[in-house]
Amino acid sequence: MTNPASITDTPDNIHPDLDINSDLAHSLDNIDDLNYATLTEALEQTVFENFDDGLYIGMMSGTSLDGMDAVLCQFGTDTGNEEETQQPMRLLASYSQDFPPRLREVLLALCQPNGIQTLVPTADEPNSELDWFGWASREYGEFASEVVNTLLKQADTDVELVLAIGCHGQTVRHRPQMGFSLQLLDANIIAERTGISVVSDFRRRDMAVGGQGAPLVPAFHQALFATPDSTRVLLNLGGIANITVLPASTNNSSNQPDNVIGNVVVGYDTGPANLLLDAWTALHTDKDYDAGGAWAQSGQIIEPLLDQLLSHPFFAKPYPKSTGREDFNLAWLQDELQKFDQASAIIRYSSADVQATLTELTAISASAQINQFIDVDKNTSVYICGGGALNSYLMTRLQVHLPHCTVETTASLGLDPTWVEAVAFAWLARQTLMGETGNLPAVTGASKNVVLGQVCFA
């Protein structure tokens, strides 16, 4: 397979009937005489030759900002031949790397309005929010490039075999109610440092047609995981939790019309997950996250505090809906705790009790949404992905609140839960290059299906 970036405009690649040096006015005068069959034949010789096969890289750094995940994968082609059993996706290699400390610190600051005020710049660093945004965009691109090159080196894979990188970038502001979402990333850096074309900026095309630009992974979930035999629910536990409901009668095409309730893919954010769990852990321990949920399990759920946290307006909103650090963050939690202390002065609790309560907040807010789509008389399985799938205590609490479902990770479906989102953005990059839509209007609230993303050719 030829990498689009490796095709040059040599005489052999330019069709003789397409003389790009001919007089423009003459071409316009004779435009009706164009042989469109010849034109199609010529286009088939360009960089858009074939995107069905070949390799793709997907990259993801989520709301929790715990690192960057990258995968190398290949997607199968649906030939319609029942005798062929080609795998829809093959995960060939994966790699994860923690953010450089300074970059992570700046990204966290940029995620909060006026958050850069907490930064102490050195002599050669920026001193304004917009300058910090530019600095972090470039640094993110350099870091992502290192991750890609390490992935390819460890996989012993030639760069020429990779058609594109799908890189989501880092969301630093998500304001669907204002019609915009900002992902921090300089895709030009990645294309230049790796020699591979990059697809990025996935959200804003959906927002241009009235959508929230999130969540974007349900279309991928549908393409890879939907089955006619049973309803499946995918629960992604990243910084934010989001669900995808795949009804048993769902067709595996991401382009099917989504008009009938009950036969439609549903997906939306349900509330906070690792974002608050990690932040509270880092604040009160010497660890970045609560491994296995052991610390939370050592505490007691504070029921009155849980009820107070569940009164956040986001939980009562109808879907489509999406959220992020703008709604749920450490400052919000500390403010809620202060209110709780003032109203419930006689209640004593520990930091471990708060962790247990935050874990329950994630479990109960996600399961309450899932239970809306469960028919107790039918077979329904819930598959967990994202970093939260490694939190055994959270998994236990989810099973308690989902008594009519089997709760397991996406490993049961053949894909490790750690890599699902990164693979999703490899798939979305492929959709973009093929000119196929990548959003689901019933999920995002968009008025129509659209092709997502901007392409930066290497």
d(CA 320, CA 447): 12
pLDDT at 113: 87
Give the chain's residues under pLDDT 50: 1-34, 36, 39-40, 42-43, 45-48, 79-85, 252-261
d(CA 351, CA 356): 9
d(CA 67, CA 438): 25
pLDDT at 62: 82
pLDDT at 64: 80
d(CA 215, CA 203): 9
pLDDT at 21: 38
Residues shown for the chain: 458
Contact status, residue 91 vs residue 424, Cβ threshold 8 Å: no
3-state class (DSSP) for residue 202: coil
d(CA 137, CA 149): 18
pLDDT at 201: 97
pLDDT at 85: 43
pLDDT at 84: 45
Cα-flanking dihedrals φ and ψ of residue 333, to 5°?
Answer: -60, -45
d(CA 385, CA 273): 12
pLDDT at 327: 94
pLDDT at 126: 94
DSSP for 245-293 reads EE-TT--S-TTS---STTSS-EEEEEEESHHHHHHHHHHHSSSSS-GGG
pLDDT at 86: 53
pLDDT at 54: 86
pLDDT at 243: 98
pLDDT at 9: 37
Q: Which of 267, 221, 265, 274 is nearest to 369 (CA)?
A: 267
pLDDT at 1: 39
d(CA 114, CA 133): 12
